[in-house]
C-alpha cells in the first residue's frame, strides 16, 4: 500500500487505552493531527502523556455515550472506545453495551457530520465459540446472546450492524476491522487477560493460573502488527470486515510455559476453572487482509513476548515507565 498523505486529522475514540494509545502514537509520528477522545474508564491519560505537546495532538475527556462534538474538521474517525478485557466488561456490562451501541451511534454521527471515513474496532469475539476453524470473515459466529460475555460480543455485533447500516443507507465511508487477541506494552498487569496475568505471575514467582486444562487455543498478535493492519484498512477504502491477527496459534498451557521460559521463572503452573462460554479455539484466516490490504503480521510471538516481558518488568519494578519503553532487559536470552 502506498503511504497516505501526511497531515490528516484523525479522531481516536478510546485513545487513552492500550490499542488506542499505540494508534495515537503511530499517527502522531507520521504527521497526522490527532484528537484522543476518552473517558478513562479502562484507559489512562498516562498512556498518551508523552504525546502532549506534540504538534496537532490533544486529549478530549468525554463519554462517547453522551453528546460528542469537536469544532475542527476531521478526515478519519477510529472508533476504539470500549472495555475489552473480560474482567472489565463483566464488571461494566451496561457501560460496555452502551458504548458499543449509543457510543458507536455518536461516533458514526461525528464521522457523518465531518464527512470523514469511519473505522470500527470490532473483534474476533463476534465469532463467539466458533464452530469453524480458522475463522474467516464470512463465518457468522456462535454467540450466546444471554451468556455473560454477550455484553461485549453482542455490543460489537450490533456495532458492526450499525456501521453497515450507515454505509448502506447514509452513504458513509466505513471500514470494519475484526481484531484478534493483541498484546504488548501498556496492557494493565491486572486487566485479567492471559498474557499480562502470566507475565505478572511469572515475574513475581507466583503460580501461573491456566484456566481449564489449558488445551483451548488463542492466536496472539503483537501490538505493532495490529496497529499496522488497522491503519492499512483505515488508509484505504476497504469496507471489511477484515480480520487482523496473527495466525500463529497456541494452547493456553503452551503460552504459559513459553512465558515461564522467557522470564526464566520457576513458577509452577496450576489449573483453575474456565469461565463460562470461553471460546475453545481462535485463529484468524488472514487471506483477505493479505489480498486487500497487503498486510501480514511480522513480529514472531517470542520476540513480541520478550518486549512485553521487559516492559512489564520495568513497570512492576518501579515508578511509571516513560513512553512505553522498557528500562532494562529481563527476558531470558534466546536459546541457541
- CA distances, 129 to each of 17, 83, 141 (Å): 26, 20, 7
- What whole-number distance in Å separates Cα of residue 240 and Cα of residue 119? 10
Quick one: 11 or 16, whose CB is closer to ligand NAD?
16
Q: Select from 6, 82, 30 the least CA-distant residue to 228.
A: 30
Nearer to ligand NAD, 185 or 326 (CB): 185
Number of residues that make up the chain: 336
- E strand map for 19-67: 33-38, 57-61
To the query of whether residue 152 is one of the catalytic residues in this protein, the response is yes
Per-residue x/- mask for ligand NAD, residues 265 to 284, rule CB under 6 A? --------------------
Find the binding residues for ligand NAD in span 85-104 (CB under 6 A): 88, 99, 103
Query: Are the C-beta atoms of residues 314 and 328 closer than 8 Å to each other?
Result: yes
DSSP annotation of 134: S
Shortest distance in whole angstroms from residue 230 CB to ligand NAD: 9
The site string for ligand NAD over 225-264 (x = CB under 6 A, - otherwise) reads ----------------------------------------
- Considering the rule CB under 6 A, would residue 42 count as an interface residue with ligand NAD? yes
- Chain-centroid distance of CA 121 in Å reads 8
Cβ proximity to ligand NAD, 270 vs 320, nearer residue: 320
- From residue 177 to residue 206, the character string flagging contacts with ligand NAD as x (rule: CB under 6 A) and all else as - is --x-xx------------------------
- Per CB under 6 A, the list member of 41, 48, 110, 228 interacting with ligand NAD is 41
Residue 208 CA to residue 301 CA, distance in Å, equals 19
Cβ closer to ligand NAD: 82 or 286? Answer: 82
Cβ proximity to ligand NAD, 121 vs 176, nearer residue: 121
Q: Give the binding-site size for ligand NAD (rule: CB under 6 A).
A: 28
Q: What is the distance of C-alpha 259 from the center of its chain? A: 20
User: Does 121 contact ligand NAD by CB under 6 A?
Assistant: yes
By C-alpha distance, which of 258, 267, 229 is closest to 335? 258
Q: How near is the Cβ of 205 to ligand NAD at its closest, in Å?
A: 27
* Residue 123 makes contact with ligand NAD by CB under 6 A: yes
Question: In sequence order, what are the residues at sequence separation of 6 or more whose Cβ sits closer than 8 angstroms to the Cβ of residue 207?
Answer: 201, 267, 268, 269, 270
CB 221 within 8 A of CB 245: yes
| Binding status of residue 17 toward ligand NAD by CB under 6 A | yes
Question: Exactly one of 83, 203, 255, 293 binds ligand NAD (CB under 6 A); which one?
Answer: 83
SS3 119: strand
Minimum CB–partner distance for residue 78 and ligand NAD (Å):
9
Catalytic residue among 89, 127, 152, 222: 152
User: Of the two residues 179 and 321, which places its CB atom closer to ligand NAD in the complex?
Assistant: 179
CB-nearer residue toward ligand NAD: 288 or 330:
288
The burial of 269, by beta-carbon neighbours within 10 Å (0-12 exposed, 13-18 middle, 19 or more buried), is given as middle
Contact present, 243 and 295 (Cβ < 8 Å): no
Does 64 help bind ligand NAD (rule: CB under 6 A)?
yes
Tell me how crowded residue 116 is: count the other CB atoms within 10 A of its CB: 20
> Any contact of residue 38 with ligand NAD (CB under 6 A)?
yes
The two beta strands, 174-179 and 217-219, are: unpaired
Active site residues: 152
Residues near ligand NAD, by CB under 6 A: 14, 16-20, 38-43, 63-65, 80-84, 88, 99, 103, 121, 123, 179, 181-182
Amino acid at each position: 500500500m502506498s503511504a497516505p498523505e501526511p497531515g490528516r486529522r484523525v479522531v481516536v475514540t478510546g485513545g487513552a487505552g492500550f490499542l488506542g494509545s499505540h494508534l495515537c502514537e503511530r499517527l502522531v509520528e507520521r504527521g497526522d493531527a490527532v484528537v484522543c477522545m476518552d473517558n478513562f474508564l479502562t484507559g489512562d491519560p498516562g498512556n498518551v502523556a508523552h504525546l502532549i505537546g506534540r504538534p496537532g495532538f490533544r486529549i478530549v475527556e468525554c463519554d462517547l455515550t453522551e453528546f460528542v462534538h469537536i469544532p475542527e474538521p476531521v478526515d478519519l474517525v477510529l472508533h476504539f472506545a470500549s472495555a475489552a478485557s473480560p474482567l472489565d466488561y463483566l464488571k461494566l456490562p451496561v457501560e460496555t453495551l452502551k458504548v458499543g451501541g449509543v457510543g458507536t451511534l455518536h461516533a458514526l454521527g461525528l464521522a457523518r457530520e465531518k464527512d470523514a471515513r469511519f473505522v470500527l474496532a470490532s473483534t474476533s469475539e463476534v465469532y463467539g465459540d466458533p464452530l469453524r476453524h480458522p475463522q474467516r470473515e464470512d463465518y457468522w459466529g456462535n454467540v450466546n446472546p444471554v451468556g455473560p460475555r454477550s455484553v461485549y460480543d453482542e455490543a460489537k455485533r450490533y456495532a458492526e450492524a450499525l456501521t453497515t447500516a450507515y454505509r448502506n443507507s447514509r452513504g458513509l465511508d466505513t471500514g470494519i476491522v475484526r481484531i484478534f487477541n493483541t498484546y504488548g506494552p501498556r496492557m494493565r498487569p491486572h486487566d485479567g487477560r492471559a498474557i499480562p496475568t502470566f507475565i505478572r505471575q511469572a515475574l513475581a514467582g507466583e503460580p501461573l493460573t491456566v484456566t481449564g486444562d489449558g488445551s483451548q487455543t488463542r492466536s496472539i498478535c503483537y501490538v505493532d502488527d495490529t496497529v499496522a493492519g488497522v491503519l492499512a484498512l483505515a488508509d484505504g477504502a476497504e469496507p471489511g470486515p477484515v480480520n487482523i491477527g496473527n495466525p500463529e496459534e497456541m494452547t493456553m498451557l503452551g503460552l504459559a510455559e513459553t512465558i515461564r521460559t522467557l522470564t526464566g521463572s520457576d513458577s509452577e503452573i496450576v489449573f483453575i476453572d474456565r469461565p463460562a462460554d470461553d471460546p475453545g479455539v481462535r485463529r484468524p484466516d488472514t487471506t483477505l487482509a493479505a489480498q486487500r490490504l497487503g498486510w501480514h503480521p511480522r513480529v514472531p510471538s517470542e520476540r513480541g513476548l520478550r518486549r512485553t516481558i521487559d516492559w512489564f518488568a520495568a513497570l512492576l519494578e518501579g515508578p511509571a515507565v516513560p513512553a512505553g519503553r522498557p528500562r532494562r532487559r529481563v527476558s531470558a536470552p534466546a536459546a541457541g
